[in-house]
Amino acid sequence: MIPVAPGRRGDRLAGMVDTIVAQQGRIARAQAKMTGQLVNVLELALSSPEVFTGAVEGRTGEQVRRSLTSELALALHLSDQKVRSLLSTAEVLVAELPDTLRSLKAGRITMQHAECLVRESVGLDREDVKEFERAALEFAETSTPPQLQTKAIRIREGLNPDTITERHTSAVEERRVELWKGHDGMGWVACYGPIDVVQSLHNACHTTAKSLRAAGDERTIAQLMADVFSDATMAGLTREAASEDGDSSRAIRPSVHVTVPVMTLIGLSNEPADLEGYGPIDPDTARRLAAQAPSFTRLLTHPETGAVLSVGRDRYAVPADLRKAIEIRDVTCCFPGCNRPARQCDIDHRVDWQYGGETNIDNCQSMCRSHHTLKHATTWAVERDDSGAVIWTSPLGRSYRIRPESNVGFEPTDTLNGSAPCVEPTVDEEPLGIETVTPSPDDEKWADHYPDEPQF
């Protein structure tokens, strides 16, 4: 759809949005100020242990910290765990990431961005922390927190003194299953394990759910995924799928995109591979996945830019090889800020077929079901400029340009009056064959109830 002039009501709405954006900036500045105050109160407490521990001999800084944590938690009506996190984050921001704190104070990032940088900087050498902050902060100021998380993992990987194989081997020892209670007689179970295993389990549930839905099952995709997972687990999936030596991972047939450097694949290099939707994985896991893969797709890329040039035959309709080319090019949903993997998205005609749009790689894009619906049901508009970049224009006239190298970031255009909004990824449905979409709201409402702080 072509955007129209907002008019008086549109101007009023645009002004209200500007006010909200300004409020967000004030919140960020207040959080930056509170960060400094948290460090100040902690330092004063640690220098005055008698205030918290009296004259008891053998008092320690940890005891003072715990006492202060409880004091703040009660005063702020927060949990101890949350206050411990606030104090730890504040210490790192003040001591190790001063530029991040300044960016937060200026309102260029949110506290979620800052917390992400703190998490990913832990364990790096002091000099590496400076390099990490420089690279990640530049990206943070034009990205949503989920997008920053993906980028930060990649930056960290290039700086970490330990090899990814060493860290993965150590992390595997921490694998576990966690359970916690929900509302209305419900609960959550989470499996912490190697990413290729847990992501393959998720993809298997999703694929099976889509097949059942296509066969006429009236349950939503979210409900089917939960039921498929429960049924398979209760039926003894791990026991039946396990090999003779008890390694159930060997039964997994990967259904994800894994990019493996050829020298790594043949054992002459330990350069990390790249798992779709996650980032770098250790070479041993990559080789095992490659050995189990039922087929390979050869990617022809530009020798300097790395841009995908071809993945197979060109066809007029949207065949499987063209869809795969679009998925690999787009990485994620093409709506600004959405992190839904392209392989789980619909294929949308940027210029509608009914208005003369062609079915080719230039006019087709990956879009999750929610944003596909948004595009066709509202006055959000999308176009490509001469450089090939995708530009979205909102009903209120705000424009956002998706960075051309991939769809994992975006930035406001020069005409934008305010900051780009953060748009969280949403649950998708089956791929579309037509442009009109009527999704069920029940398929997405589960995401509203996911715990903010899962216990793992």
Is 5 inside a domain boundary?
A: no
pLDDT of residue 335: 86
Is 144 inside a domain boundary?
A: yes
Are 157 and 62 in the same domain? yes
Is 383 inside a domain boundary?
A: yes
Are 330 and 411 in the same domain? yes
Are 324 and 419 in the same domain? yes
Average pLDDT, the chain: 76
DSSP secondary structure letters along 82-102: HHHHHHHHHHHHHHT-HHHHH
C-alpha–C-alpha distance, residues 206 and 222, integer Å: 8
Is 452 inside a domain boundary?
A: no
Are 290 and 359 in the same domain? no
150: number of Cβ within 10 Å: 18
Is 213 inside a domain boundary?
A: yes
C-alpha–C-alpha distance, residues 78 and 376, integer Å: 42
- The CA distances from residue 302 to 299, 307, 309, 366, in Å, are 10, 5, 7, 22
C-alpha–C-alpha distance, residues 110 and 118, integer Å: 13
Is 277 inside a domain boundary?
A: yes
Helices 61-76 and 80-95 pack at an angle, to 10 degrees, of 120
pLDDT of residue 242: 42
Are 230 and 334 in the same domain? no
C-alpha–C-alpha distance, residues 156 and 128, integer Å: 9
Reading the block at residue 418, the tokens are 């305010």
C-alpha–C-alpha distance, residues 431 and 323, integer Å: 11
Collapsing DSSP to helix, strand or coil, 333 comes out as coil
Give me the domain span that covers residue 347: 308-447
**How many domains does the chain divide into?**
3
**CA 299 to chain centroid:** 25
- Of the three residues 296, 329, 361, the one that is the final residue of a domain is 296
The one-letter code for the residue type at 401 is R
Reading the block at residue 388, the tokens are 């090939």
Are 157 and 241 in the same domain? no
Is 454 inside a domain boundary?
A: no
Are 154 and 286 in the same domain? no
Is 303 inside a domain boundary?
A: no
pTM tops 0.85? no
Are 218 and 124 in the same domain? no
Are 319 and 440 in the same domain? yes
- Of the three residues 296, 327, 346, the one that is the final residue of a domain is 296
Positions of the chain with pLDDT lower than 70, given as ranges = 1-6, 55-59, 161-163, 236-257, 276-278, 293-319, 403-456
